[in-house]
Chains A and B, each alone.
Chain A
Amino acid sequence: MTTEMLAKPATDKSASHRRHAMNLRTKRHPGRYISRIGIILVGLVFFFPFVWMIATSLKPTSEVFSTGSSLLASRIEWSNYITAWTSIPFGQVIANSFLVAVSGAVLTTVVSLLSAYAFARLQFKHRDKLFLVFLGTLVLPQEVLVIPLYIMMNKLELVNSLPALIVPFAFGAFGAFLIRQFLLSLPVEFEEAARIDGAGSIRILWSVILPLVRAPLAVVAVFSFIDYWSSFLWPLIVINDVSQATIPLGLSMFSGERGTDWGPLMAAATVAVIPSLLVVILLQRQLVKGVSMGGFGGR
């Protein structure tokens, strides 16, 4: 692995570049309208699966297939959402998902911040070598680790528990890498000034560093939240009791039990998709930043 191993594209979009580019490219000419109509069509086709998900969630089960390619059935079946809610303990499953995703994100962010600070600011033996080894695990497929992790959880009697979903995947290198890169771009003068004023190390981390690194911390938190929220293989392995399931596992159990009951299944899927949609809409900037730093490991 070379030093450019995680060479990644620059994220900072120079506003003047963009404005300039826009002036050059979007001067009036007919191609522009064709281009815009084209992208609307592509966008509609692309978004269609979500439209179909919502449409199906509002169809009576008997009409899911008989309505063909029509978005609407003879009536709007809101009760699918109630069926979804009651037939698996869906409230419990959603609560589990939030608990796992939030505590996983908090744990990941805290651990990453501490490691990143040490790797960016402290001097110790073999620091850069250790960091490189740690970083190498960014390209290690987690799927390679699931068998021993399962045996470990089994030995610790943590199978079917939420900690088994949270703890093992909180120690990846992505968060530490991202925060470290950010810290390296900050001047050390603030910390030095605080140190001269007599602040201790923990104090410096808490009241000097923390306010400065909010942006990368948010990126790490958002990414780990989504990772935990969407994770499927590991919950499928380590959880077999629906009362401990997260949403993806709940959905797959639901489809296994009532594979043909598409109305309620799509209602549950719609509910599962909404938090992710909110994240995308509200936290675009963090997502764009995290993606270009290797977040999600190329899912």
Chain B
Amino acid sequence: MTALPTLAVKNGKKPTAITGHGRLAAAYLAPGMLGFLIFIVLPLIASLVISLFDWPLFGAPEFVGLDNYVRMLSGDPVFWTVLGNTLFFAVCYTVLNLVLALGLSTWLHNLGSWGPFFRVLFFIPVVTPMVANALVWRLMLTDDGVVNSFLANFGIAGPSWLSDSQLAMGSLIAMSVWQGVGYNIIVLGAGLNSISPNLLEAARIDGAGPWQRFFQVVLPMLSPSLFFCTVMTIIGSFKVFTQPYLLTLGGPGESTNTIVLYLYRNGFSFDKLGYASALAWALFVIVMLITALQFSQQKRLVNYDN
């Protein structure tokens, strides 16, 4: 991989003409850093503070200490259900997404001039509004929708894709993979493009078969891209909201309720902003722990020397 632009935090170039002018830097940084403080840092801290209160939408907040967390962890079975659902979604979505993206991007890579066209085709649902995507899937998956009509042509009585608690989560995962896989196809495609064909040719001459070349040469060379995809996809999967909100309303029962959907409902339907903030912090901690875990394994899993 030739020009892998790892994030060099150290800025190597020392400008010779300008030597350190804090005031000038402050002027340039003011808008960005003020916004960063007001709209990111402050809300993050405020979220922690609010989680210690019983905080209704209207009316006076009341300090309750760690009550929200105690209730979340020991008094609210729904929390464990939505956490389990979200984890299940995250694992299935990430694995399916990455396997499909790896397969499709390899396929497209070997398609020659057709590759770029299909790469763009697969990318379309990533940029079209998720709400529009979700609504058409709801239409297609309703009991008498096109999917079941199609199955009926073969004499198969299609199930209730969205209202059967065994299937609803699967439908959400399928819709989400369709929506998101194009992102990873692009990233992995760029990774594949930067692998030198000479390397593969050398492996071929040395007698490596196609599978051996894939696992012994392509996969290690692709590991930085794969790592990047995995991190981004897992983070994305924990934020799942629009799909259950529009396709299943979290149901049937709580079978497709997720952390963010439950957070939204606590905040804006049940009037419990404090409890919703505790859920938000739970989400924050989980995402940060998983991301930190991934980065701690990065050196072991990712091949950065070319």
Contact = CB atoms under 8 A, between A and B. Distances in A.
Contact of B120 (A134, A255, A262, A280): A280
A83 B3 CA distance: 53
B7 A4 contact: yes
A30 interface: no
A269 B136 contact: yes
Nearest to B31: A111
B25 A39 contact: no
Contact of A17 (B104, B186, B193): B193
Given A114-B28, A123-B19, A12 B264 contact: no
A115 B29 contact: yes
A39 B7 contact: no
A176 B246 CA distance: 33
B250 interface: no
Given A14-B2, A273-B132, A291-B186, A139 B194 contact: no
A13 B127 contact: no
A78 interface: no
A13 B108 contact: no
B284 A144 contact: yes
A115 B32 contact: yes
A98 interface: no
Interface in A283-299: 284, 287-288, 291-292, 294, 296-299
Contacts of B11: 119-120, 127-128, 184
Contacts of A4: 6-7, 298, 302, 304
A64 B150 CA distance: 14
B36 A144 contact: no
Interface residues of A, number: 126
Nearest to B110: A25
B293 to A, nearest CB: 12
Contact of A122 (B28, B152, B291): B28
B157 interface: no
A122 B232 contact: no
A132 to B, nearest CB: 5
B131 A53 contact: no
Contact of B25 (A6, A124, A152, A191): A124
B124 A50 contact: yes
Given A9-B190, A21-B197, A296-B183, A237 B264 contact: yes
A83 B183 CA distance: 34
B47 interface: yes
B35 to A, nearest CB: 3
B124 to A, nearest CB: 6
Nearest to B132: A269
A252 B238 contact: no
A13 B108 CA distance: 15
Query: Looking at B11, B19, B26, B188, which has the most chain A CB atoms within 10 Å of its CB?
Result: B11
14 contacts: A1-B292, A12-B2, A43-B122, A56-B136, A122-B28, A170-B35, A184-B11, A251-B135, A273-B129, A279-B127, A288-B186, A292-B190, A297-B235, A298-B234
Interface of A: 1-14, 17-18, 20-22, 24-26, 35-36, 39, 42-43, 46-47, 49-50, 52-53, 56, 64-65, 68-69, 110-112, 114-115, 117-125, 127-128, 130-132, 134-135, 137, 139-152, 167-173, 176-177, 181, 184, 188, 191-192, 195-196, 201, 226, 229-230, 232-233, 236-237, 247-249, 251-252, 255, 262, 265-266, 269-270, 272-273, 276-277, 279-281, 284, 287-288, 291-292, 294, 296-299
